Amino acid sequence: MSFRAGFVSIIGKPNVGKSTLMNALLGEKISIITPKAQTTRHRILGIYNKPEFQIVFSDTPGIIEPKYKLQGSMMKFVNESLQDADLIMFVTDLNTQNEEPELIERLKVIQSPLICIINKIDESDNDGIMKKIQFWREQVPSFKEIVPISASNKFNIDMLLKSVLTYLPEGPPFYDTDQVTDKSERFIASEILREKILLRYKEEIPYSVQVEIESFKDEEKLLRISAIIYVMRDSQKQIMIGKGGIAIKNMGIAARRDLEKFFGKQVFLQTFVKVKEGWRDNNNLLKEWGYDNDGK
């Protein structure tokens, strides 16, 4: 069998399990996961290498109607992932109701091979699963396949991988065969910190936060990381730090634990909180932090 390599984009609404699915397909955690919508802000590549093939998965932000420029940039990442895809996996779940007609119409005009992934089937009975499959068969007849899975339980993941392979073209790998993502170590570190913020803070705080790795020094036995956490208001800074600094201290402990697990060495972590008013609509800051600076 000739070597196969291709790009597979994972798209869908927020909170349907796209990042969980990519991590399950890769067999390791590349994308951060939280119960909050809009956890993923960038297009993150996860590269799955085997002697016979290379699959380049794209985890993308959840499809939404943008309300500020950051969200506009997030939707541009989704659109970019559709342009170079050899296969597109649209992820939905058993809990999603009232799919928007605009989204369904958008799926109908996609030219690349398109399959539907129905996630979280462990949360329903067989009758509910069959009704959801029938719904999507009727709504988007162009789906090549409809695959029910449970990404969190890794149910049907092997079958899905076999299906994905049939859509990949023959050709050489696009990335080194020992590479697992296109993102830098600094980016991974910032995402681990942001994941802990999403998990530990409520309401608007997680969506007002941007993490910047100011310093990343990889020594022989120790990784020294200095991070700045940007928020949009002084009141948010006070909440982030907490009384006597306890909130940010506990967040840092949790982040350091995951950083050490990912990088395989002891981590010394410093965190600082600063205010950048309106950064989500600031073109210059969005560009500096790796977002497209003309999102609408």
Give the ranges where 150-209 is alpha helix by DSSP (H). 157-165, 185-200
For residue 203, the model assigns a pLDDT of: 82
Query: Are residues 17 and 93 in contact, defined by beta-carbon separation less than 8 angstroms?
Result: yes
Q: Is the pTM of this model over 0.75?
A: yes
Q: Which of 43, 131, 148 is nearest to 91 (CA)?
A: 148
Considering only CA atoms, which of 68, 76, 77, 80 is closest in space to residue 283?
Answer: 68
Angle 157-165/18-26 helices, nearest 10 degrees? Answer: 80
Percentage helix, strand, coil for the chain under 3-state DSSP, each rounded to 5: 40, 25, 35
Backbone φ/ψ region at 290: left (φ over 0), alpha (ψ -120 to 50), beta = left
Give the H/E segment covering residue 236. helix 234-241
Separation between Cα atoms, residue 11 and residue 161, nearest integer Å: 16
% of the chain beyond a pLDDT of 90: 86
pLDDT per position as a tens digit, 24-55: 999 989 999 988 888 999 999 999 999 999 99
pLDDT of residue 98: 67
Residue 291, phi then psi, degrees to nearest 5: -100, 155
Q: What are the structural domains of the chain?
A: 4-165 (3.40.50.300), 185-288 (3.30.300.20)
> Can you read off the two tokens belonging to residue 102?
């605009």
- Over residues 59-69, the pLDDT tens digits come to 999 999 999 99
User: How many whole angstroms separate alpha carbon 151 and alpha carbon 147?
Assistant: 12
